[in-house]
Protein backbone atom coordinates (compact mmCIF):
# COMPACT_ATOMS: atom_id res chain seq x y z
CA UNK A 1 0.00 0.00 0.00
CA UNK A 2 1.46 3.36 -1.00
CA UNK A 3 1.15 6.40 1.27
CA UNK A 4 -1.20 7.95 -1.27
CA UNK A 5 -3.46 4.89 -1.26
CA UNK A 6 -3.43 4.88 2.53
CA UNK A 7 -4.35 8.55 2.62
CA UNK A 8 -7.28 7.98 0.25
CA UNK A 9 -8.57 5.12 2.39
CA UNK A 10 -8.11 7.13 5.57
CA UNK A 11 -9.86 10.16 4.11
CA UNK A 12 -12.81 8.06 3.03
CA UNK A 13 -13.20 5.77 6.05
CA UNK A 14 -11.51 7.53 8.96
CA UNK A 15 -9.01 4.68 9.35
CA UNK A 16 -6.74 2.51 7.26
CA UNK A 17 -5.54 -1.06 7.80
CA UNK A 18 -1.92 -1.63 6.78
CA UNK A 19 -1.18 -5.31 6.31
CA UNK A 20 2.26 -6.73 7.20
CA UNK A 21 3.77 -3.43 8.25
CA UNK A 22 6.44 -5.29 10.20
CA UNK A 23 8.41 -8.19 8.77
CA UNK A 24 9.09 -11.34 10.78
CA UNK A 25 12.47 -10.21 12.04
CA UNK A 26 11.17 -6.80 13.15
CA UNK A 27 8.19 -8.40 14.78
CA UNK A 28 10.39 -10.75 16.80
CA UNK A 29 12.57 -7.85 17.98
CA UNK A 30 9.58 -5.72 18.96
CA UNK A 31 7.82 -8.61 20.72
CA UNK A 32 10.84 -9.44 22.84
CA UNK A 33 11.32 -5.79 23.83
CA UNK A 34 7.60 -5.45 24.51
CA UNK A 35 7.55 -8.47 26.81
CA UNK A 36 10.56 -7.15 28.73
CA UNK A 37 8.86 -3.77 29.15
CA UNK A 38 5.65 -5.46 30.24
CA UNK A 39 7.50 -7.50 32.83
CA UNK A 40 8.93 -4.26 34.24
CA UNK A 41 5.50 -2.60 34.20
CA UNK A 42 6.88 0.03 31.86
CA UNK A 43 4.52 -0.10 28.89
CA UNK A 44 3.58 3.55 29.41
CA UNK A 45 7.24 4.57 29.23
CA UNK A 46 7.97 2.68 26.07
CA UNK A 47 10.63 4.71 24.28
CA UNK A 48 12.93 4.59 27.30
CA UNK A 49 12.79 0.80 27.35
CA UNK A 50 14.41 -0.22 24.08
CA UNK A 51 15.81 1.41 20.93
CA UNK A 52 13.31 -0.52 18.85
CA UNK A 53 10.51 1.65 20.22
CA UNK A 54 12.36 4.76 19.06
CA UNK A 55 12.85 3.14 15.67
CA UNK A 56 9.11 2.48 15.47
CA UNK A 57 8.43 6.23 15.59
CA UNK A 58 9.90 6.67 12.12
CA UNK A 59 9.57 3.13 10.81
CA UNK A 60 10.10 3.25 7.02
CA UNK A 61 6.87 1.34 6.27
CA UNK A 62 4.76 3.48 8.59
CA UNK A 63 6.11 7.01 8.83
CA UNK A 64 5.47 7.80 5.13
CA UNK A 65 1.82 6.89 5.72
CA UNK A 66 1.64 8.95 8.91
CA UNK A 67 3.20 11.82 7.00
CA UNK A 68 0.77 11.49 4.11
CA UNK A 69 -2.13 11.61 6.56
CA UNK A 70 -1.03 14.08 9.26
CA UNK A 71 1.19 16.26 7.11
CA UNK A 72 4.77 17.43 6.93
CA UNK A 73 4.55 18.84 10.45
CA UNK A 74 3.81 15.49 12.14
CA UNK A 75 4.98 14.94 15.69
CA UNK A 76 4.66 12.14 18.25
CA UNK A 77 2.22 12.89 21.07
CA UNK A 78 2.95 9.73 23.04
CA UNK A 79 4.01 6.12 22.63
CA UNK A 80 2.77 3.31 24.82
CA UNK A 81 2.03 -0.38 24.82
CA UNK A 82 -1.07 -2.22 25.93
CA UNK A 83 -2.08 -5.76 26.79
CA UNK A 84 -5.66 -6.99 27.01
CA UNK A 85 -5.75 -10.30 28.84
CA UNK A 86 -7.76 -13.22 27.45
CA UNK A 87 -11.35 -13.61 28.53
CA UNK A 88 -11.78 -10.16 30.02
CA UNK A 89 -14.62 -7.66 29.77
CA UNK A 90 -12.21 -4.81 29.34
CA UNK A 91 -13.56 -3.28 26.18
CA UNK A 92 -14.03 0.44 25.82
CA UNK A 93 -17.44 1.72 24.76
CA UNK A 94 -18.12 3.46 21.49
CA UNK A 95 -16.68 6.93 21.61
CA UNK A 96 -14.77 9.58 19.76
CA UNK A 97 -11.45 10.62 21.29
CA UNK A 98 -11.89 14.25 20.29
CA UNK A 99 -15.50 14.73 21.31
CA UNK A 100 -14.59 17.29 23.99
CA UNK A 101 -12.29 19.40 21.85
CA UNK A 102 -13.33 22.95 21.09
CA UNK A 103 -11.97 25.36 18.52
CA UNK A 104 -11.45 22.96 15.62
CA UNK A 105 -13.94 22.00 12.93
CA UNK A 106 -13.17 18.30 13.14
CA UNK A 107 -15.13 16.87 10.16
CA UNK A 108 -12.70 18.67 7.83
CA UNK A 109 -9.59 18.57 9.99
CA UNK A 110 -7.02 15.96 11.03
CA UNK A 111 -5.94 16.96 14.49
CA UNK A 112 -4.78 13.71 16.05
CA UNK A 113 -4.26 10.25 14.65
CA UNK A 114 -3.36 6.98 16.38
CA UNK A 115 -1.25 4.18 15.00
CA UNK A 116 -1.84 0.70 16.43
CA UNK A 117 0.75 -1.93 15.59
CA UNK A 118 -0.29 -5.46 16.50
CA UNK A 119 2.16 -7.93 17.99
CA UNK A 120 -0.29 -10.85 18.14
CA UNK A 121 -3.14 -11.96 15.93
CA UNK A 122 -6.51 -10.52 17.00
CA UNK A 123 -9.29 -12.96 16.07
CA UNK A 124 -12.96 -12.17 15.56
CA UNK A 125 -13.71 -12.69 19.25
CA UNK A 126 -10.55 -10.92 20.41
CA UNK A 127 -10.37 -7.38 21.70
CA UNK A 128 -10.97 -6.02 18.23
CA UNK A 129 -10.64 -2.34 17.57
CA UNK A 130 -13.78 -1.44 15.63
CA UNK A 131 -14.90 1.57 13.68
CA UNK A 132 -17.95 3.18 12.17
CA UNK A 133 -16.55 3.89 8.69
CA UNK A 134 -16.97 7.48 7.58
CA UNK A 135 -17.92 8.75 11.05
CA UNK A 136 -14.94 11.13 11.02
CA UNK A 137 -17.04 13.23 8.64
CA UNK A 138 -20.09 13.43 10.89
CA UNK A 139 -21.14 16.93 11.84
CA UNK A 140 -19.93 18.14 15.23
CA UNK A 141 -22.39 17.10 17.89
CA UNK A 142 -23.82 14.21 15.89
CA UNK A 143 -25.20 12.02 18.68
CA UNK A 144 -24.04 8.52 19.42
CA UNK A 145 -26.96 6.07 19.34
CA UNK A 146 -28.09 5.10 22.81
CA UNK A 147 -27.14 1.44 22.71
CA UNK A 148 -26.10 -1.02 25.37
CA UNK A 149 -23.52 -3.35 23.86
CA UNK A 150 -20.74 -3.03 21.32
CA UNK A 151 -22.33 -5.33 18.78
CA UNK A 152 -25.42 -3.12 18.48
CA UNK A 153 -23.60 -0.28 16.74
CA UNK A 154 -24.91 -0.10 13.17
CA UNK A 155 -22.45 -0.41 10.29
CA UNK A 156 -19.44 -1.12 12.48
CA UNK A 157 -16.36 -2.89 11.12
CA UNK A 158 -14.04 -5.01 13.25
CA UNK A 159 -10.30 -4.97 12.74
CA UNK A 160 -9.49 -8.68 12.63
CA UNK A 161 -5.73 -8.45 12.22
CA UNK A 162 -2.60 -10.54 12.11
CA UNK A 163 0.57 -9.88 14.03
CA UNK A 164 2.63 -7.26 12.21
CA UNK A 165 -0.42 -5.46 10.84
CA UNK A 166 -1.05 -1.81 11.75
CA UNK A 167 -4.12 0.39 11.87
CA UNK A 168 -4.09 4.16 11.57
CA UNK A 169 -7.15 5.87 13.04
CA UNK A 170 -8.43 9.44 12.92
CA UNK A 171 -9.05 10.65 16.49
CA UNK A 172 -12.48 11.87 15.43
CA UNK A 173 -13.67 8.48 14.11
CA UNK A 174 -16.22 6.63 16.24
CA UNK A 175 -14.51 3.56 17.59
CA UNK A 176 -14.59 0.97 20.35
CA UNK A 177 -12.44 -1.87 21.60
CA UNK A 178 -14.53 -4.99 22.07
CA UNK A 179 -14.22 -7.32 25.07
CA UNK A 180 -11.62 -10.03 24.72
CA UNK A 181 -13.52 -13.34 24.47
CA UNK A 182 -10.60 -15.16 22.93
CA UNK A 183 -7.97 -17.28 24.60
CA UNK A 184 -5.05 -15.08 23.62
CA UNK A 185 -3.80 -11.70 24.83
CA UNK A 186 -4.03 -8.65 22.63
CA UNK A 187 -0.62 -6.95 22.53
CA UNK A 188 -0.39 -3.67 20.73
CA UNK A 189 1.80 -0.61 20.34
CA UNK A 190 -0.16 2.64 20.40
CA UNK A 191 1.61 5.69 18.96
CA UNK A 192 -0.33 8.95 18.77
CA UNK A 193 0.69 11.57 16.22
CA UNK A 194 -0.30 15.21 16.17
CA UNK A 195 1.11 18.38 14.63
CA UNK A 196 4.34 20.10 15.63
CA UNK A 197 2.34 23.08 16.88
CA UNK A 198 0.66 20.91 19.51
CA UNK A 199 2.02 19.80 22.87
CA UNK A 200 3.45 16.36 23.46
CA UNK A 201 2.50 14.26 26.48
CA UNK A 202 6.09 13.79 27.59
CA UNK A 203 9.02 16.09 28.24
CA UNK A 204 12.12 15.58 26.13
CA UNK A 205 14.21 15.96 29.28
CA UNK A 206 12.42 12.91 30.74
CA UNK A 207 13.86 10.70 28.02
CA UNK A 208 17.06 8.88 28.96
CA UNK A 209 20.34 10.43 27.72
CA UNK A 210 20.71 7.48 25.36
CA UNK A 211 17.27 8.05 23.82
CA UNK A 212 17.91 11.79 23.60
CA UNK A 213 21.06 10.99 21.67
CA UNK A 214 19.10 8.75 19.28
CA UNK A 215 16.55 11.50 18.77
CA UNK A 216 19.06 14.26 18.15
CA UNK A 217 20.61 12.36 15.23
CA UNK A 218 18.23 13.62 12.57
CA UNK A 219 16.08 16.62 11.72
CA UNK A 220 12.97 14.48 11.38
CA UNK A 221 13.45 12.77 14.72
CA UNK A 222 13.96 16.11 16.44
CA UNK A 223 10.66 17.25 14.96
CA UNK A 224 8.89 13.99 15.78
CA UNK A 225 10.00 14.20 19.41
CA UNK A 226 9.23 17.90 19.71
CA UNK A 227 12.79 19.10 20.30
CA UNK A 228 12.60 22.88 19.87
CA UNK A 229 14.14 24.10 16.65
CA UNK A 230 15.75 27.50 17.11
CA UNK A 231 15.66 28.20 13.41
CA UNK A 232 11.92 27.68 13.01
CA UNK A 233 8.81 28.43 15.06
CA UNK A 234 6.75 25.37 15.97
CA UNK A 235 4.01 26.92 13.80
CA UNK A 236 6.14 26.33 10.74
CA UNK A 237 8.12 23.13 11.34
CA UNK A 238 8.37 20.75 8.40
CA UNK A 239 10.12 17.45 7.66
CA UNK A 240 13.44 17.47 5.91
CA UNK A 241 13.11 17.65 2.16
CA UNK A 242 10.00 19.84 2.27
CA UNK A 243 10.07 23.46 1.35
CA UNK A 244 10.55 25.27 4.65
CA UNK A 245 7.46 27.17 5.63
CA UNK A 246 7.69 30.87 4.92
CA UNK A 247 4.79 33.07 5.98
CA UNK A 248 3.22 34.88 3.08
CA UNK A 249 2.96 38.64 3.52
CA UNK A 250 1.90 41.12 0.89
CA UNK A 251 2.12 44.89 0.93
CA UNK A 252 4.51 47.29 2.63
Partner 1 sequence: MTEAQQIDYEAQGYIVVEGGFAPDEFRRVQAAFDGAEASGGLEDLPNRDDLFIRLAEDPAFFPAVHRIVGDDVQLRSLRGVRLTPDSAGRGWRREVAGLLGVHHPASTLSVQVFLWLDDAPEGGARIAVVPGSHRFKSDLPFPDITYIEEMPHHVALRARAGTAVLLNGNLWQARTRNRSGAPQRLLEYTYVHCWMRQALPDLSPHATEVASSSHNLAQLFGIRTDRADARWYWGRRVEGYPPSAGLPERRFSELKVVGRGVKANE
Name the residues that contact partner 1, by CB under 8 A: 70-73, 89, 91-95, 98-105, 107-111, 140-153, 176, 179, 181, 195-199, 201, 233-236, 245, 247-252
DSSP annotation of 122 reads B
Please give the Cα distance from 127 to 92 (Å, whole number).
Answer: 10
CB nearer partner 1, residue 6 or residue 110: 110
If DSSP codes are grouped into helix, strand and coil, which group holds residue 81?
strand
B/e letters for 139-151, b = 16+ CB within 10 Å, e = fewer, are eeeeeeeeeeebe
Task: Decide whether 73 or 165 has the Cβ nearer to partner 1.
Answer: 73
Torsion of CA 93, 78, 6, 217, to 10 degrees: -170
Counting every residue written for the chain, the total comes to: 252
Compute the least distance from the CB of residue 112 to partner 1, in Å: 9
Identity of the residue, 24 or 201, whose beta carbon is nearer to partner 1 in the bound complex: 201
Looking at the Cβ atoms of 96 and 119, the one nearer to partner 1 is 96
Q: How far is the CB of 122 from partner 1 (least distance, A)?
A: 18
Nearest-approach distance from CB 189 to partner 1, in angstroms:
19
Nearest-approach distance from CB 60 to partner 1, in angstroms:
22
DSSP state of 98: T
Amino acid sequence: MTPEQARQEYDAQGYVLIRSALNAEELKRVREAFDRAATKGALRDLVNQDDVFVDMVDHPALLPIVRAVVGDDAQLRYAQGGIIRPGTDSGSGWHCDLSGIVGVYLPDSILMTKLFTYLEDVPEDGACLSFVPGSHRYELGHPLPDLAVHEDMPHHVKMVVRSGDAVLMNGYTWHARFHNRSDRPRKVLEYSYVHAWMKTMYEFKDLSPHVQELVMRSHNRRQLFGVPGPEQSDWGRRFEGCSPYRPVEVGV
